[in-house]
Structure 1
Amino acid sequence: MVASLMAWAGPARATHIVGGEMELEYQSGDSYRLILNLYFDAFNGSPQALDADLTASIFQKGNNSRMANVVLPLTSNTFVSYTNPVCAVPNLSTRKLVYSRIITLPANTYNSPQGYYVAVERCCRNNSISNIQVPSAAGQAFYLEFPAVVRNGQPFIDSTPRIFPPLADYACRNELFYYDFSGSDVDGDSLVYDLVTPLNGHADANLPKPTAAMPAPYSTISWLPGLGQFNQIPGAPTLRIDRFTGRLTVRPTNLGLFVFGVRCTEYRNREKIGESRRDFQMMVLNCAINQQPSLVVQPSPASPAPYVPGRDTLRFFPGSNRCVQLRFTDPDPNSRLSLSLNPVNFTGLLPNFTTATSGSVRTPGAPDTLTATLCFPDCINTRGRVFLLDVVVGDNGCSLPRRDTVRIAFTAVPPPNALPTITTTAGPVQPLRVRVGDLVEFDVLGTDPDNDAISLEMSGQGFSPASLGASLTQSTVGNQQRGRFSWRVNCSAIDPPLRQFDFTAVTNPCTERKTATVTVPIQVDYSNAAPQLTSTLPAPTAATPIPVVRLPQGGVYTATLAGTDADRDQLLLTAAAENFSLSDAGMQFQATNGAGQARGTFRWEADCRAVNLHRDLTVTFQLVDQTCRSLPQVQRIRFQVISPDTMAVKLYNIITPNGDGLNDEFRLPDLPPNFCDAYFTSLRIFSRWGQQVYQSDNREFRWSGEGAAGLYYYLVTYTDGRKFKGWLQVVP
Structure 2
Amino acid sequence: MKTKIKMMALLVACVLFGLSTNVFATHFQGGDLTYVCISPDMYMVTAKVYRDCTGAAAYTYNDLKVWSPGCNTGRVIPMTMQGGLVTGSPYCQAVGNPCSTTGRPNYQEVTFNALVVLTADEIACNDIIFSTRNSARNTNENIVGQDYIYTEAFVKLRPSVNSQVQFYNSSPQFSGNNIPIPIVCFGQQTRFSLNANEKDGDSLSYELIAAQSNYNTPIAYKPNPMMLNPNTPINNPNPKSPYSNPLRPQVALVQGIMPPDFTPTFPMPSVTVNWNGPATVPMQDPLSPTGTTMVWAATPSFNLNPLSGELIFTPSAYYPGTNPNLGRNKYVVVVQINEFRKVNGAMIKVGHVRRDILFIVEDCSGNQTTQPDIPTPAPIFNTTIKSDTIIDVQTCNSTPLRFLFSDPNPGDKLTVTFDTTVVDRMPNSYLKIRNNGTTMVEALLYITPEAQHVGRDYYLPVTITDDHCPIKGTATYIYRIHVVKNNFAEPEGGQKQRTICLGDRADLKVKLLRPDSLLIPPAIKLHKANYTYQWTLDAASDPANAGLDANASTQKDIAVKPTAPGNYRYHLRITSPVSGCSDTISFAVKVLALPQIQDIKVKYAEGLEEIMFGRSAPLQVLSNITNAADYTYSWSPGTGLSDSTAMNPIASPLKTTTYKLTVSSKEGNCKAEREVTVKVGELFLPNIITPNNDGSNDAFIYKGIQPNTSLKIYNRWGVLLKAYDNYDNSFKGEGISDGTYYYIVKEPNGGKSYKGWFEIVRD
- Pairwise TM-score range, normalised by the shorter structure: 0.3 to 0.5
The structure, 1 or 2, with the larger RCO (C-alpha pairs under 8 Å, 6+ apart) is 2
Task: Say which one has the larger Rg.
Answer: 1
TM-score (norm 2): 0.39
